[in-house]
Amino acid sequence: MYSKEVIKHFKNPKNMGFMKDPDGVGEIGNPQCGDILKLYIKVKNNKIKDIKFETLGCAVAIAVSSVITEMAKNKTIEQALELTEENIAEKLGGLPQFKMHCSNLAAQALKKAIKNYRKRDLSR
């Protein structure tokens, strides 16, 4: 059903769990299937220094969460904002068509976390 990469990330997800005092949080729920994906980021010198996730979702939702944390880590904010659902799916060795919305979910959550960080940064 799923690629080896998807199963690998699902079985051993990277950067999983709650983060204390994050600089930005992005939570996004999928209105289509009910998955909920939450990303926490810590930013230093415009770079994502740390990133963690909590996801209630299917195997693919968990795999995209894990892989996006790996992809975004140590990237600049601008680079991170450029990550697309296609990049994520590609990194996972492809996704079945009906699961593409999961990778979109991860990209959206990251954008939301960055937006949240920028808003907090301005108010500091």
Partner 1 sequence: MKKKEIYLDNAATTPVDSAVLKKMQPYFNKKYGNSSSIHKAGDSARKGLDEARQQISTFLNCLSEEIYFTGGATESNNWLIYGVVDKFWENGGKNKPHIIISSIEHKAIIEPAKYLEEKNLVEVTILPVNKQGIVELDEVKKAIKKNTILVSVMYANSEIGSIQPIKQIGELIKKTNQEIVFHTDAVQAINYLNCNVKYLNVDALSISGHKIYGPKGVGALYLKKGIPIAPLIRGGGQEHGLRSGTENIPGIVGLGEAINLVSKNNKDNNRIKTLRNKLITGIMKDIPDVQLNGTLEYRLPNNINFSFLGIEGEGILIELSEQGIYVSTGSACASHSLKPSHVLSAIGLSDEESHSSVRFTLGRQTSNNDIDYVLNILIKAVNRLRKISGR
- Report the catalytic residues: 33, 102
Comparing CB distances to partner 1, the nearer of 39 and 114 is 39
Cα–Cα distances in Å, from 121 out to 32, 33, 68? 32, 33, 23
Among 54, 81, 108, 120, binds partner 1 (CB under 8 A): 54
Residues of this chain, 4-23, that bind partner 1 according to CB under 8 A: 7, 10-11, 13, 16-18
Which of 41, 43, 51, 61 touches partner 1 by CB under 8 A? 61
Question: What strands lie across the sheet with 24-29, from one edge to the other?
Answer: 24-29, 36-44, 47-56
Output b/e per residue, 40-78; b: 16+ Cβ within 10 A: bbbbeeeebebbbbebebbbbbbbbbbbbbebbbebebe
Question: Could you tell me the smallest distance in angstroms from the CB atom of residue 59 to partner 1?
Answer: 4
DSSP symbol at 27: E
Quick one: 33 or 77, whose CB is closer to partner 1? 33
Site residues, partner 1 (CB under 8 A):
1-2, 7, 10-11, 13, 16-18, 32-36, 38, 54-62, 98, 101
